[in-house]
């Protein structure tokens, strides 16, 4: 991956702009809880009212949601996921240096921004989930935003040795629909961390097979799987294969480090990951660490 434009670590007093590029917010309480966490770090969220915006199932028209991304603030913090951010990639987004925080549907924006050569994207808690995150997860995010190096993450080792490469995280479903577009960052030698929610094992199989047919999985230096919440087979359908079997079989012949069950995804304890930063994935120890 070519050299990227770096993001300057935040300092107390820096402003935060709320971005609502996806689904409409259900209420304002969880958003305010997330903003309160940022205020506790000395950051200054701008006064905004994204909770009231509605355009069908989205948090405003495409123009309104696109305008969120054009705000001048060191940190753009996404309110929630759902669906809608990929629609904004049809517009010409002029990405600016700084930080962009979110995950799930926000994968589209994180990937597009990384492809444009900007560091500072963080695959991590949304404003509507940040307040409920455990203390270690909140602290990990604070460390990344303020230029500190957080501790390594532990997962389930699946072998393959050790590799170092740029870190790329994604929601599997969202990223699968970006393949073939102009918004896919360089995957050659990268460490890819995937997560998802509410997808049956056969659909996970279908998406990973698409990645294989595109040659995308074969380019990776290493792969880690976060949490796949609600993605295992139904007890009422015992003939369906398991999620674990799909993940193992679709990566068995890649001959790269593989780690499963990392604390990343649609769970309480969603570890923040800096997009594009050099990281080390150890398939024998089951660890993911960042280069200082």
23's tokens: 């689904």
**Active-site annotation holds for 57:** no
Could you say which of 85, 104, 108, 112 is catalytic? Answer: 104
The SS3 call for residue 145 is: helix
State the catalytic residue, choosing from 85, 176, 199, 266: 266
| Residue 215, helix vs strand vs coil | coil
In 3-state terms, what secondary structure has residue 162? strand
Strand 278-282 with 156-157, pairing: unpaired
Beta strands in 6-83 (DSSP E): 15-19, 44-45, 75-78
Instruction: Give dist(CA 191, CA 262) in Å, integer.
Output: 13
Of the residues 123, 137, 195, 199, only one is catalytic, namely 195
Residue 146's CB is within 10 A of a number of other CB atoms, namely: 15
104 is catalytic: yes
Rounded Cα gap, residues 118 and 99, in angstroms: 9
Do residues 196 and 172 touch, judged by C-beta distance below 8 A? yes
What H or E segment, with its residue span, contains residue 121? Answer: strand 121-123
Is residue 195 annotated as part of the catalytic site, yes or no?
yes
Q: Are 21 and 84 in contact (CB under 8 A)?
A: yes
What residues act catalytically? 104, 195, 266
């Amino acid at each position: 991956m070519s050299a990227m434009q770096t993001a300057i670590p935040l300092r107390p007093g820096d402003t935060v702009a709320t971005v609502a590029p996806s689904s409409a917010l259900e209420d304002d309480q969880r958003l305010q809880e997330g903003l309160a966490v940022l205020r506790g770090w000395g950051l200054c969220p701008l006064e905004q009212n994204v909770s009231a915006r509605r355009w069908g199932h989205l948090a405003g028209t495409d123009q309104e949601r696109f305008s969120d991304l054009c705000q001048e603030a060191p940190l753009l913090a996404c309110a929630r996921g759902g669906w809608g951010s990929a629609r904004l990639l049809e517009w010409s987004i002029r990405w600016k240096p700084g930080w962009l925080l979110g995950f799930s549907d926000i994968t589209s924006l994180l990937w597009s921004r990384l492809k444009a050569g900007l560091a500072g994207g963080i695959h991590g808690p949304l404003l509507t989930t940040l307040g409920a995150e455990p203390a270690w997860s909140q602290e990990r995010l604070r460390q990344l935003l303020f230029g500190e190096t957080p501790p390594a993450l532990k997962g389930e080792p699946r072998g393959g040795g050790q590799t170092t490469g740029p870190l790329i995280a994604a929601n599997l479903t969202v990223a699968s629909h970006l393949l073939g577009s102009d918004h896919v960052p360089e995957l050659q030698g990268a460490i890819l961390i995937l997560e998802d929610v509410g997808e049956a094992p056969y659909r996970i199989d279908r998406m990973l097979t698409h990645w294989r047919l595109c040659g995308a999985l074969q380019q990776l230096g290493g792969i880690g799987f976060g949490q796949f919440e609600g993605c295992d087979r139904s007890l009422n359908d015992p003939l369906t294969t398991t999620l674990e079997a799909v993940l193992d079989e679709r990566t068995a012949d890649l001959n790269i480090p593989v780690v499963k069950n990392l604390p990343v995804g649609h769970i309480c304890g969603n570890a923040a990951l800096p997009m594009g930063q050099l990281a080390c994935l150890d398939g024998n120890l089951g660890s993911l660490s960042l280069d200082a």
